[in-house]
Amino acid sequence: MQPEMSLVTAAPPNNVDQIFPEVDMSAADSSSIVRATVVQASTVVQASTVFYDTPATLGKAERLLAEAADNGSQLVVFPEAFIGGYPRGSSFELAIGARTAKGRDDFRKYHASAIHVPGPEVERLAEMAKKYKVFLVMGVIEREGYTLYCTVLFFDSQGQFLGKHRKLMPTALERCIWGFGDGSTIPVFDTPIGKIGAAICWENRMPSLRTAMYAKGIEIYCAPTADSRETWLASMTHIALEGGCFVLSANQFCRRKDYPPSPEYMFSGSEESLTPDSVVCAGGSSIISPLGIVLAGPNYKGEALITADLDLGDIARAKFDFDVVGHYSRPEVFSLNIREHPRKAVSFSTTPKVMKDESVNK
């Protein structure tokens, strides 16, 4: 039986009926309220579900999205790699100069659970966003050919796929499993509920990436992650203060039993010490205001929908103190150049055919 999802809501307004996903927001109105939810859930539907089951994960995503929408949420943010799965603890049996047959097959299964962008899973997510009238930010594992990317997808409340961000810098062993994003997927989308973008897990520690998004005017900074340590909250609070933006960090809450049993799936270095109920990722999802106030979370207790009402007027209140790319910048001293064109390993150019002047041959 699927356990009941915990709902954590911060500072509900007096009249919830005034908040709808299709809110009409004037650009001149800097004091609008947006209800946002970060989802803290594992990719599995129940303990017996296979980790690599993408259709089942999509089904769970829709149930979570429906619950958030029922609570009046206009924006819903899911964790890193929610679709496709975060391979926590797995080494894919890698060693310098060596691979194993099992490790290769582990990658084959992981590759099969990833999704094409665009593709049928993207279309289904778009349908969900439209059905529940929410802006959706979803962490996925994307495949392009035989290379995988840790990616965030963005959808508006009309079901339009807005675009994607690929993780620029995978961390540690992730670099052996995932490819690297480039400057062509660092978007900030101007939407009726604010300017939305995302950075994934430890790339949030990259000052140049953050500054690029600040320069694009980000207002709702989404931070899907796999880091459940208590120090993560300090990073999120700093980004909110530095950027004068709301920060929404979503992480999974997982136990050992949420992954396939050993020896099919092994937690490298710790498998023998784990029980089925051992917590392998404690979540810690949170929502932070531009003034550095923790509006909701962090939650380390279990699966939850963590919700807060974002007063967009707080952005101007915060930037009165500190505007990192505005009145608090020193462009005559510091500058940053962003290369936004795609970086391809192979480019093809066709030489135009030269048409002979027939008159010459006459």
**Active centre residues (catalytic):** 80
End-to-end distance of the chain based on CA atoms, in angstroms?
A: 87
What is the SS3 assignment for the chain? CCCCCEEEEECCCCCHHHCCCCCCCCCCCCCCEEEEEEEECCCCCCCCCCCCCHHHHHHHHHHHHHHHHHCCCCEEECCCCCECCCCCCCCCCCECCECCHHHHHHHHHHHHHCECCCCHHHHHHHHHHHHHCCEEEEEEEEEECCEEEEEEEEECCCCCEEEEEECCCCCCCHHHHECCCCHHHCCEEEECCEEEEECCHHHHHCHHHHHHHHHCCCCEEECCCCCCCCHHHHHHHHHHHHHCCEEEECCCEEEHHHCCCCCCCCCCCCHHHCCCCCEEEECCEEEECCCCCEEEEEECCCCEEEEEEEECHHHHHHHCCCCCCCCCCCCCCCCCCCCCCCCCCCCCCCCCCCCCCHHHHC
CB 152 within 8 A of CB 164: yes
Give dist(CA 125, CA 127) in Å, integer: 5
Count of CB atoms within 10 A of residue 27's CB? Answer: 7
Distance of CA 48 to the CA centre of its chain: 26
